[in-house]
Chains A and B, each alone.
Chain A
Amino acid sequence: MTRKIAKLLKTPFFCTAMAIFFGSMVACGILLLTGYSASESLAVMFNAVFSRPKFILNVILKSTPVILTGLSVAFAFKSGLFNIGAEGQYIVSTIASTITGILFDFHPIIQIPLVILSGMLAGGVLGGLVGILKSKFGIHEVLTSIMFNWIALYLCNFVVNIERFHKQDSDGTYSINPSGFTLLLNDWKFSEEGRNFLKDNPILSDIILKTDFNLNFLIAVLIAFIVWVIIYKTKKGYEFRVSGLNPDAAQKAGINVQKNTIYTLFISGLLSGVAGAFSITGTSIHNIQTLSMFENYGFNGLSVALIAGSSPLGCIISGLVFSALIYAGQSLQFKIGAPSEIVNIMIGIIVFFVALVRIVPTLVNRFLEREESLDVK
């Protein structure tokens, strides 16, 4: 019996759940200290996520980019690299997909892959560049990628203000051509027929009409599986992991660590690129806008990867949790005026606890050892 419980306590899932539980507990303490009703806040946050089909779907839709950037960070982590540049890779990808989406207008079968590939490539190139700088010149990837983040941010503002793309009387570009949208039923739901049909189906209308209904999330899940296969089931993936665990040993064993660094960061950039491209094709209004600060999709990817313990499949769940917390946080601010920073604090604490609860398995092991020694006596 104790053994079974002990085994359960040691699973990563349980540890993460504990971290989330205690993270919310501390956040509630902060809410109480700042004079907001904690129980009301919890209720608001719960309702914000679960009270309507629209909210649940929105959480899922909004989790897509952070799952992908999370995967990007997790993938680099597995090879011992810290891809803090996911943010910049995300941004250049949105820029590239917007530009291709505006300039070309093919049939959706060509247009959608074209837009997404251009975004992916842009992200991949930026990631690969960081890899080259690291492996050829030994410049640390954290330094270069932080700088690239800022370059990407201002590049975005520059592109927005180019006359060919800038939409007058707005602070964004034109939307990409509709052939590049990855929304489902988009034409139908705004048509006369669709409207009349949805009027009588409040739940369907909630799901289809009121959200950017699309399947990008499922593709993100598929990508998570592909990443898992690459890392754990292929020779290259093995090389990546070994390079991460001990680069010197890997080098000695005949693995080209430097080349693998470039590969890893390129693939990592591709993954952030998918996130950016999906944001353009799958979220209304399908354009980029002037940024005054980072939108944090890339940085949130760091938290997602950390909560997931860099497991590709874990990123799906942690991405969903993360997106739910952010979504609930917006409501918290909206409904009871509590600063949404509270939610950011909560997320920070959860990440902190995730690192902290790693001691749980150790504690359990020690407890088990003591039991055993007692049994022997």
Chain B
Amino acid sequence: MKKIISRVFLAVFTALTLGFCALIVKAGVLISQGAGTDNRFFVAMVTDGGGVNDQSFQESAWRGMQSFSKNTGAKVRYVECQQSSDFPINIDKLADENTDLTWGIGYKLAAHIELASKINPERNYAIADFSFGENTPENVTGVLFRAEESSFLAGYIAALTTKKGKVGFIGGLKGLVIDQFEYGYRAGVAYASKKLGRDITVKVQYAESFTDSAKGKAIAMKMFDECDVVFHAAGGAGVGIIEAAKEKDMYAIGVDMDQSSLAPKNVLTSAIKDVGKAIEIISLKLMNRETIGGKTFSYGIKEGCVGIPENNPNLDKDIQSSVKKLEEKISSGEILPPGTSEAYDKFISVLSSMKI
């Protein structure tokens, strides 16, 4: 009996080993054949920590890529990073895949995109939400959004909607990009409160994260005790903020995408920052052999890359129409929403003499 078992065991073992050897041989054949080439225009994007289903910035970017692929037949793909140490690995691997254009979605990738552009001078890179200013390498394109414009609208809407006279703002991490949201929003509130002739205060807090939705929710739950409208610019952490609005039955204002699907009754509107559209515009430019390297593009309401959604079921009709007028004023340059602390101070000092 013992002998039979050991024989059977030996036979199975040998068969498996032989099968594995056959696999290795087959793999060897595949290696010697080499890979087939795909000559389609190839655009790839790297996320900066969130996944492409973050209901926010990254998802908007990926939708833009997909629509670009549908319209032009270009090959697109995304690569998700779990944490910062993945950035160089993924950007490097994409360079080996012969991309025509690699997008870094988010300013965290800036240093890595810059390095990759130096290492791979023959490839094109683009980065959303970051500008290298005058030091932009020849093969890198920066894309900035005038998010203060849509945030201004959000602040205006929040101030017109609030009953308690207090509105909130929750940011991800403090920095130049989120400053645009914060000060644009503050200015929008100030603008509306002048129009109404009523004092409306803004409470501001930071979640110190773009991914921690539990923390976002905790902060928002607290904030909704005082405020009845909260605007967030906190990426994935904002999902928790909208959840809090749902639980407390208050209003949240979404960001980056139309986030009304997250809580149809409690999302007042969204300050859209359509990175996807910008990706389409820039990628198309490169496909048509326009020079985009070494430049920084700035997109706002005028280009249709920021704004608020067409349909806002929770928004008062009157407010909606006055927002339309405000939008035109921003688009024509009559109102310049501030995106930094200094610009905000200037805006406030001018505001008192402004006709509304």
Contacts and interface: CB of A to CB of B under 8 A. Distances in A.
A169 B30 contact: no
Contacts of A171: 49, 84, 108, 173
A172 B41 CA distance: 33
Given A43-B31, A195-B121, A334-B79, A169 B110 contact: yes
A203 interface: no
Interface stretch (B21-29, B157-165, B226-234): B21-29
A97 interface: no
A24 B19 CA distance: 12
Contacts of B14: none
Interface string A136-149: 00000000000000
A210 interface: yes
Interface SS of chain B = helix
B85 A170 contact: no
Contact of B20 (A28, A41, A170, A289): A28
Given A169-B176, A330-B89, A334-B93, A42 B23 contact: yes
Given A190-B118, A285-B115, A42 B27 contact: yes
Contacts of A344: none
Contacts of A52: 96
Contact of A170 (B30, B107, B121): B107
B17 interface: yes
A233 B23 CA distance: 45
B93 A39 contact: no
Given A195-B121, A292-B83, A168 B175 contact: yes
A89 B28 CA distance: 41
Contact of A210 (B90, B120, B175): B120
B121 A25 contact: no
B30 A40 contact: yes
Contacts of B90: 334
Contact of A293 (B16, B83, B95): B83
Smallest CB-CB A-B distances: 9 pairs? A42-B27, A43-B30, A289-B84, A39-B26, A43-B27, A39-B27, A25-B20, A169-B107, A169-B175
Interface of B: 16-17, 20, 23-24, 26-28, 30-31, 49, 79, 82-85, 88-90, 93, 95-96, 107-108, 110-112, 115, 118-121, 130, 173, 175-177, 211
5 contacts: A24-B20, A39-B23, A169-B176, A210-B120, A295-B83
